[in-house]
Structure 1
Amino acid sequence: MNLELIEALNDLEKERGINTDVLIEAIQQALISAYKKNFGSLQNVRVHFDRVSGEIKVFARKTIVEEMKDPRSEISLAEARRLDPRYELDDVVETEVTPKDFGRIAAQTAKQVVVQRIREAERDLIFDEFSNREGDIVTGTVQRLENKNVYIDLGKTEAVLSQNEQMPGEHYNIGDRLKNYIIEVKKTTKGPQIMVSRTHPGLLKRLFELEVPEIHDGTVEIKSVAREAGSRSKIAVYSRNENVDPVGACVGPKGLRVQAIVNELKGEKIDIVKWNSDVTKFIASSLSPAKVLSVDINPEEKVAQVVVPDYQLSLAIGKEGQNARLAAKLTGWKIDIKSESQAQAANPRE
């Protein structure tokens, strides 16, 4: 059994990446508990596990003291020196106390420990893998729907798409394949819990990185994202290469790149605007598809006064103020929009 155990531990290290030293240490600790439980011993003991032969031995440990108070854990200097004259105070004397039938108990205990540690190690490996992917996209299959949460099978584990992170109006069916944004990975007693989102602005950013090679290779940079999930989003892009149109790169030939993202987000409308270091130009672009006549900024208060043609006012503001709201999120500026007539009425020429 002992040699078989050593072989099994070595196989586990190769196949599952579970460190043999960690397993042996856990087995030794479990065997100490098993020894005390099965043999009613209150002694301080150490279990030695021979890593070559697999032989297991139990040693009672006693500390050398001047005045012995507890014979289960202490031994007098005189008695210790009868065993070996080289002993000194505070040294530890070990005596083998391995029971005859300890092999059977050891085999059962080792098996339990190995099974438990396999589970723990797998959980740790999964946690390590996914904790490094916070802020990344994962693709999974809807496994079940429970208490308004959607549980998504990621292969090695599952992720939770909570109600708050689900896109408004999006319906989920078992077997659906979804791309999700990892927002948090937590350790729990039942293993790693991976929380994902379909509403996070980071999902939109990652989808563009996947679809647009120019973003992936760094030629085009995403400067900011504003999103109202399931309805409409805006994304500001900039090209490090003046010969590359950042908006055109994101739209793709015949709109294929952006359409793939729209399809993944179940029809969410996406405005792609060109980022500009000139704030007035960036704010004007951010209100796309509306045309802007002028932008006056107050840098101290970070407020922009924008004037648009009369017939473009409702387009610039958007349904329920959505276009203006997204533009403000995208630019980081408070945007006050007026029509040309309103602006002239507020500032009549003398």
Structure 2
Amino acid sequence: MDIKNFASAIAQIAEEKGISAEKVLETIEMAIAAAYKKDYGKKGQIIKAKLDSESGDVKFWQVKLAVAKSMIYSEEELKKLAEKAAISQRPVSVENEFSEEEIKGEKKVRFNPEKHIMLEDAKKIKPKIKAGEEFETPLEPQKDYGRIAAQTAKQVILQRIREAEKESIFSEYKSKEGEIISGIVQRIEGRNVFLDIGKTLGVLPREEQVMGEFYRPGQRLKAYVLKVDETPKGPIIFLSRAYPKLISKLFELEVPEISSGQVQIKSIAREAGSRSKIAVATEADGVDPIGSCFPGRTLILMEDFSYKPIVQLSKGEVVFTHLGNREIISKTFKRIWNGTTLKFEVFGIHQNLEVTKEHPLLFTLGYDQKKEFKEASRIKKGYLAIPTLENVVFDKTIYHFEKEKDFLWVLGIYLAEGSLDRAEVNFTLSKQEKDKALKIKDIMEKYGGKVYIRESNCRPSVLDIKLFGEYWRKIFKELGGEYCDRKKINSRLMFLSPKLQLEIFKGWKDGDGYFDKKRNRTIIVTTSENLLWQMYHILLRNKIRANMQKRKDREGRKDAYQLEIANNKTRDYRGFFRGDYYFSRIRKIERGPCSSGRQVYNLEVGDDNSYIAYSVAAHNCVGQKGTRVMAVINELGGEKIDIIEYSPEPERYIANALSPAKVLEVKILPKNKAQAVVPEDQLSLAIGKDGQNVRLAAKLTGWKIDVKGPEEEKKQEVEETKKIKKPRKKPKNKI
């Protein structure tokens, strides 16, 4: 066998038929097994074949079902079943009557030596086999097959591939129900139009065509997949050009604000080929401002020194500004950005700052140069400003020991090497760190804690330090978190003085840090990104340069990060402190597509007009929005589309629905009726040609709308007044 050509043929069939190469190979194996059974097998046998696609060798097995005695019908049971079959006048054929398929529900079989093997016999060869499992017996491979066997194999291949192709097409297009699909008109038969939609043809019935539209072979159209039916001849895909949802799906394709969910289509009223009305609504403020500048995953520094993705922020939340103030977000903006973004790689920050070109960042060219907000596209080299926030100090502590240096050091050790049990706090240190273990014991006993130190039973080189008590477990969980990758310093401790905070860092360094002699720097490793950012800010507040990095991905393990601190005191070209800022040097600027989709975001923040993204100071940047609907109108052959604003208030909704007419007043009447009063010169516009505008408005809103002018309204009020009858006088009684 020519293996290369064989593999190429399988790949070609799979590509042409739209099925997987594994399915084609499985079909060939079934065909070979069928041919083997035809020439060398016996009736009732189940033959299995396995083809090695690399060597071309074929192996055969006979498959039997291992059965226990309790799974086999006895002679008496067979006789009873035969009697029942005779009474019910069912076919008497024993082969059909007692086949495994017929009696599958009763979990018993009629023993056939070609299909079944007793469990006792099977265990002699395969000791671990259980009842109900398959038992495979190797068969001698054969190379010579007769004409009938070859014909059988050919029929099996053709039939199986045809079935697989039908299943593939059906499942593919069934999943596309309710979606838009593009096709080319192939032929027109009677009133039906057939479109080539890729792997098969779609049918556009007469009732789903747009009145006045003409179709010609070769014409490209977009159609709505109405339904997919499975028939013996294969799947039939029914398409529509008149269905109202076609418009909403076209808008999702052409208008990103709708596909992203920023704008929702509430209702559609359509007279296909003539005119449509669409009611849209949005709960988002400031959709599509020109100045929205950051991808959704960009981290913003919140008032508690935690970071939160900009996509999750909302009006009323509080963030830090570049001046170190805490300001309220007065507005959030977002829009669709189809252009490229700039990615700033900055020394010390483990994530790139990605931004649109017009967004201003706080920047300086050098140590002696002035700092200013500058558009990202105009920054070529230099330093970006990172506020140190060293003057943000408030006493928010609850427990008296939260301001004690020795306790803060123990908290740092916990952040590095601590864990929580049901009613205790555990610290894990090496035997060489016994002095630290004793220090923890002395400190915590000073504050009333009970500490026990012992060697680990599982790991001889490890010391287990246990701080007993539910009280202390609660304290450490509150101040430092519980799980290693989610540990973070409680927000109130982030407002301590920088010197006190440095004690937390020292404990963390003593627990997870080590000194790299070659590079002359201290390195601390953690799996908590929140904790990494907090420690970075603590060091900046203490005027200590630090460098964050993400470690290379390790398969099957959590993400890990490291914080590096250079031990030299000389001026570093990578950054410098000046005033209330640390200016970090830009390593590289790259231009490329937005890394997290096309949606970008911006904030409007208080009086300072700024916020902090990935520790870098950024300015506000807000602009106007636009719309795109002409592509939809062109696709529908010029069909007129009115887009109106949805409102939960019926009066306002009905007034909007009668657009472009101006509505003076809307009265809500009983029985789902409404009366709209429009100026006399707007009556024909409100009603529309042949009543189309008011008809579509009624269909859109679900209200029966009656349109009247002011004069007609007055006449109606007068007539209603006249109809009010005066009360009759009671007749006098006759004597």
Deviation larger for 315-324 or 148-157: 315-324
Fraction of identical pairs, as percent: 45
Query: How far is the alpha carbon of 1:307 from its aligned partner?
Result: 1.9
1:55 equivalent in structure 2: 58
Deviation larger for 23-32 or 154-163: 23-32
Distance 1:115 1:161 in 2: 30
Distance 1:76 1:40 in 2: 17
Whether 1:168 aligns to 2:216 is no
Instruction: State the aligned residue count.
Output: 337
The 8 Å contact of residues 248 and 265 in structure 2, kept in 1 or not, is answered as: yes
Whether 1:227 aligns to 2:273 is no
Structure 2: give runs of 5+ residues left out of the alignment: 76-109, 290-334, 336-625, 722-735
Whether 1:236 aligns to 2:279 is yes
Whether 1:193 aligns to 2:236 is yes
1:336 equivalent in structure 2: 706
Deviation larger for 337-346 or 270-279: 337-346
1:133 equivalent in structure 2: 176
2:657 equivalent in structure 1: 286
The 8 Å contact of residues 276 and 696 in structure 2, kept in 1 or not, is answered as: yes
Return the match for 1:309 from 667, 679, 683.
679
Query: How far is the alpha carbon of 1:119 from its aligned partner?
Result: 3.8
Q: Which has the higher contact order (CA 8 A, sep 6+)?
A: 2
Distance 1:73 1:291 in 2: 85
Relative to structure 1, the CA distance from residue 123 to residue 43 in structure 2 (aligned partners, 3 Å threshold; closer, same or farther) is: closer
CA deviation digits over 1:98-144, x for unaligned, max 9? 77733876666555544444444344333333222222212221111
After TM superposition, list the pairs within 5 Å mapping 1:78-97 onto structure 2.
Answer: 96=139
Query: How far is the alpha carbon of 1:174 from its aligned partner?
Result: 0.8
Distance 2:284 2:135 in 1: 72
The 8 Å contact of residues 11 and 21 in structure 2, kept in 1 or not, is answered as: no
Deviation larger for 308-317 or 222-231: 308-317
After TM superposition, list the pairs within 5 Å mapping 1:96-175 onto structure 2.
Answer: 96=139, 101-102=144-145, 109-175=152-218
Distance 2:653 2:114 in 1: 77
TM-score, reference length from structure 2: 0.39
Structure 2 counterpart of 1:221, one-letter code: Q
CA deviation digits over 1:33-69, x for unaligned, max 9? 5456557942434233354753243648698989999
Query: How far is the alpha carbon of 1:14 from its aligned partner?
Result: 7.9
Relative to structure 1, the CA distance from residue 48 to residue 282 in structure 2 (aligned partners, 3 Å threshold; closer, same or farther) is: same
2:20 equivalent in structure 1: 18
Per the alignment, in what secondary structure is the counterpart of residue 215 of structure 2? coil
Per the alignment, in what secondary structure is the counterpart of residue 134 of structure 1? coil
Question: Higher helix proportion, which one?
Answer: 1
Whether 1:270 aligns to 2:641 is yes
Distance 2:166 2:175 in 1: 14
Distance 2:151 2:19 in 1: 23
Deviation larger for 304-313 or 57-66: 57-66
Return the match for 1:319 from 689, 704, 726.
689
Distance 1:204 1:76 in 2: 63
The 8 Å contact of residues 278 and 642 in structure 2, kept in 1 or not, is answered as: yes
The 8 Å contact of residues 281 and 646 in structure 2, kept in 1 or not, is answered as: yes
Deviation larger for 50-59 or 123-132: 50-59
Relative to structure 1, the CA distance from residue 278 to residue 75 in structure 2 (aligned partners, 3 Å threshold; closer, same or farther) is: closer
Relative to structure 1, the CA distance from residue 233 to residue 75 in structure 2 (aligned partners, 3 Å threshold; closer, same or farther) is: closer
Query: How far is the alpha carbon of 1:326 from its aligned partner?
Result: 0.8
Relative to structure 1, the CA distance from residue 25 to residue 245 in structure 2 (aligned partners, 3 Å threshold; closer, same or farther) is: closer
The 8 Å contact of residues 297 and 305 in structure 1, kept in 2 or not, is answered as: yes
The 8 Å contact of residues 167 and 198 in structure 1, kept in 2 or not, is answered as: yes
Relative to structure 1, the CA distance from residue 17 to residue 45 in structure 2 (aligned partners, 3 Å threshold; closer, same or farther) is: closer
Structure 1 counterpart of 2:640, one-letter code: K
CA deviation digits over 1:219-270, x for unaligned, max 9? 3322211101011110112244444599xx9xxxxx9943332222122121
Relative to structure 1, the CA distance from residue 261 to residue 14 in structure 2 (aligned partners, 3 Å threshold; closer, same or farther) is: closer
CA deviation digits over 1:171-230, x for unaligned, max 9? 101111111111112333333322111101111112222332332333332221110101
Distance 1:345 1:88 in 2: 92
Per the alignment, in what secondary structure is the counterpart of residue 315 of structure 1? helix
Structure 2 counterpart of 1:286, one-letter code: A
Per the alignment, in what secondary structure is the counterpart of residue 102 of structure 1? coil
1:177 equivalent in structure 2: 220
Q: Which has the larger radius of gyration?
A: 2
